[in-house]
Chains A and B, each alone.
Chain A
Amino acid sequence: MAATRVPRGAALMTALGQRLGVLLRTTTFRLTLSYVVLFGVSVSVLTVFFYWSTIGVVVRETDATLKSEITGLAEQYLEHGLDRLLNVIAHRIRTDESGDMLYLFATPDNRPLAGNLTSWPEVEPDAEGWIEFVHTRADGRSVPARARVYLLQDGLHLLVGRNIAQIRQLKAIFNHALALGIGVVLVLAACGGLFLSSRVLNRIGAFTGVTAEIIDGRLDRRVTTRGTGDEFDVLAEQLNVMLDRLEALVGTVRHVADNIAHDLRTPLTRLRNRIEMAARAAPEELRGELELSVEDADALLATFSALLRIARIESGSYDADFETVALDRLVDDALELYQGVAEGRDIRLVADCEPGSTVEGDRNLLFQAVANLLDNALKFAPDASTVHVGVHREPGAVRVQVADAGPGIPAGERERVTQRFARLDQSRSLPGSGLGLSLVKAVSELHHGSLEFGDNAPGLRVSLRLPERVAR
């Protein structure tokens, strides 16, 4: 169990890592993060300023007081001697009503000479002569203190300090408020960022949704404007104008295609019909040739109509009739249609159609696609071989597979075979227009399906995967 747990955990972490990676790449996340960072920096700057102009002032004043006091005492000593200094210190201590001021005058070996501190604090002063220490008062309470030390001549030293408990308390209150404030600000910033970015992204989402539908050939879709005249509205209006033009162009192309069908097929019809009529009246020895010419013309026209059909499906102008199609039955019908052809060449058609394999689609087009796949397989399958046909349900889709034992398609050529008129060298001698698989591909794409070519070892395995529901 333990052995399997590790890789499973690792796989889970990898999956989580991938999800996290996706999250980190989303615009929502990026916008929100920028928002939070911007807010955080602003609040920090503001805080520094507040600190500097409130607590900072108190701290600076305390320092200034201590500095001038110690300078004053030093001057007393220098000008009036040791006794004067001792007197002054005693006087200062007596007159200090707050009891916050601390004085100490000590010998070089730190023996107190005067002051209200019992011993020299065992803290090294910093470069400027400041020390901070904990002072135990006469009533037994310990208070934080800040003091300045001054080295007089003869190694005597002087300390003037102050109880800074209040300042410390103030700082604590400030820090507490700051922590709370920053927390609230960051949460607000994150919410604001999410709100703003989701608003923006919702509008972008509307654009993406419409463009996705356009890609699917629904050229009549437009982005809705809100009438606010903002940048998104301007973008939407311009996109809509662009789509109008695109739709008009596609309409023109469709029109042209229909006209080509009409204009080119009519003279071809005429040609074909003249030959057909001539064949009816022709003497026996000519009739055969003329009838073959009619067949050639028919083949030409069939190619032409297949080409037009592919173009119409691909351009989205084919008015497909979508309904629920039972693919298992449709494939059965196609198999039944081709059964005779297969038996004629001693080929076994082996079918495995899962019942209930339904998809949403145009039954005539799907039948055409399946028929083309069967046709293709039977064309390349050697005599007395087996062609396997399968219809299987997958989550949300149905897969139709046709596998033959023919020459197959080399891996490098598989992309090419669905192009129009693409014919591999080995198939040049066989009949066919080279449009069969192009049509399958077009039908597959119309149904949002996928078409894959694989190796049947030997032979070709074509797999047409069709989603059960076509999002439209």
Chain B
Amino acid sequence: MHILVVEDDRDTREFVRGGLEQAGHTVDVADNGRDGLLLATSGSFDLVVLDRMLPELDGLTIVRTLRASEDRVPVLILSALGEVDQRVQGLRAGGDDYLTKPFAFSELEARIEALVRRTTPEGPATVLQVGDLEMDLMARTVRRGDTEIDLQPREFRLLEYLLRHAGQVVTRTMLLEHVWDYHFDPQTNVIDVHVSRLRAKIDRNFDQPLLHTVRGAGYRLAADADAA
């Protein structure tokens, strides 16, 4: 993928660039808002990672300008302003996702992955599948092999989100935002408890585990254990 990173802090910029290049992406960078907007409007990027507080032109103005000219390039806003209200401002301005500093690189990676997937529509699926695990969205049933699995409504939504992002790393914050619909900071790791309950239902009694824990990042639902 071709990714533009607009960030004024050199270390963060280089850190993001290094990480993304390591992951196999092509990265262009800009260190101020004006250059960032110029590059972004060239239309050659699959995704823009944009800092919010930038010299010369702030990040929200860049997003608004892009959206005003009907440029739909996915924008991930990166900012130290991480409050829910500021986040809402960022998303209302036209950003597709909002990540608060400090962020784990894996969190950024996971979100970039999710964003690019989201912008490539695959048509409305009625059946989601990973390995021998199958979810029928119409009948609201889940089967693994020949066994029917009985899930609570929240567990169903959790599994649905994991299936829609199969093969990708999904972070705890992403789960909170999309499965629970609330923006808040849990003081204890309540999400882990829900994931382990789900895991008990879909993986216990089966030889091949599907729901993997990615240390320091989150979870990944995949038939194979290692591929990132």
Contact = CB atoms under 8 A, between A and B. Distances in A.
A364 B12 contact: no
Contacts of A367: 182, 184
A364 B184 CA distance: 6
- Interface size for chain A: under 10, 10 to 19, 20 to 34, or 35 or more residues? 35 or more
14 contacts: A262-B80, A266-B12, A291-B215, A294-B216, A312-B83, A319-B89, A320-B85, A337-B180, A337-B186, A337-B190, A364-B84, A371-B186, A375-B186, A379-B188
B105 A276 contact: yes
Contacts of B80: 261-262, 265-266, 269
A371 B187 contact: yes
A375 B188 CA distance: 7
Given A269-B103, A302-B185, A333-B180, 15 more contacts: A261-B82, A262-B81, A270-B11, A272-B104, A273-B105, A277-B15, A291-B216, A308-B83, A319-B86, A336-B154, A340-B190, A340-B193, A340-B196, A364-B183, A372-B187
Interface residues of B, number: 38
Contacts of B216: 276, 279, 291, 294
A297 B154 CA distance: 31
Contacts of A258: 81
Interface of B: 9, 11-12, 15, 18-19, 53, 80-86, 88-89, 100-105, 154, 180, 182-188, 190, 193-194, 196-197, 215-216
A273 B9 CA distance: 14
Contacts of B9: 266, 270
B83 A318 contact: yes
Contact of B193 (A266, A306, A344): A344
A50 to B, nearest CB: 74
A301 interface: yes
A363 interface: yes
Contacts of A336: 154
Contacts of B183: 364
A467 interface: no
Contacts of A305: 82, 100, 185
A364 B39 CA distance: 36
Nearest to B197: A340
A368 B185 contact: yes
3 interchain residue pairs of minimum CB distance: A340-B193, A269-B102, A319-B85
